[in-house]
Amino acid sequence: MLLSYLAIALYFAATFLLIRYFVINEIQHQQTIFLLVSLAIIVQSLTFSHFWSDKGIVFGLANSASFVAWLISVLLFLSSLSKPVHVLGILIYPLVAFTLAFSIAFPDTINKVIPINIALHVLLSITAYALLALAVCQSVLLNIQEKHLHARKINSFINKLPALQTIEALLFQILRIGFYLLTLSLLSGFIFVQDIFSQHLIHKTTLSIIAWIIFAILVFGRKVFGWRGKQAITSTQFGFGILVIAYFGSKFVLERLLT
């Protein structure tokens, strides 16, 4: 638990420095932010040792939320080494800290175990969710930038952002990879999950397929018709919202309301 508190503090410290740079116009502490986020990711990864049990992986609502958030922060951190996306940390790092606080306040019980034989399906699903969550954060940033540019309200925050075309290109780059992984996740689910009806997974599967269709249309529309702007932003956020309901909504109902 002490490690979780330390990781929370490190994530908030990195967020504080990012806000001071992008919003308050203070000098950027790039090396300090890099160090804080690196330590936070390492410390949080050490908290995953309690996930393992003799029967499989303890992966209920709290643990899965914490792990997905951790993976999002890892992907953002790695992306920020070569792409101008570190501003997304203002949204993502507090979210990771919140999921850690949630896992402390409402820990999973030992009976929420996932067998090792479906670990590949779970890993693909989580990686897809993490990438698509990054895309949603990117779409929020794109929306803010578009509104300010159209209204000609250019402040220091907008000035420090990459060009609109750069943010949009990154959004679709992340979306495509997340969509491909979501496709593999759904295919592996049909292979590894024996009976979706007896496991109360039919609603989760249905919602996931609906989300997949939305992302498929968006990726196809971008490639063929050059969709951009508001279409991309709305579709990305709507599709991810359905995925969140499918995975975490299902877990919340089954694990917290019906037990």
* Residue 63: per-residue pLDDT: 87
15 contacts: CB under 8 Å, gap ≥ 6: 89, 90, 93, 94, 97
Query: How is residue 67 written in tokens?
Result: 């792990």
Distance CA 240, CA 77 (A): 21
Res. 243: pLDDT tops 70: yes
Res. 26: pLDDT tops 90: no
Distance CA 100, CA 119 (A): 22
Distance CA 191, CA 201 (A): 14
Burial of 28 (0-12, 13-18, 19+ CB in 10 A): middle
User: In the predicted model, what is the mean pLDDT of residues 12-19?
Assistant: 94
Per-residue confidence at 160, pLDDT binned at 50, 70, 90? confident
Pick from 123-127, 234-238, 253-257: least confident: 253-257
Helices (H) and strands (E) in the chain — how many of each?
Answer: 10, 3
- pLDDT digits 0-9 by tens, 42-81: 999 999 987 777 677 778 888 888 999 999 999 999 988 8
* Residue 195: per-residue pLDDT: 60
- Listed by start position, the domains of the chain span 2-187
Show the beta-strand stretches assigned E in the chain: 52-53, 56-58, 113-114
> Would the pTM count as exceeding 0.85?
yes
Distance CA 120, CA 50 (A): 19
Per-residue confidence at 1, pLDDT binned at 50, 70, 90? confident
* Residue 167: per-residue pLDDT: 86
**Chain centre to alpha carbon of residue 227:** 23
User: In the predicted model, what is the mean pLDDT of residues 171-186?
Assistant: 93
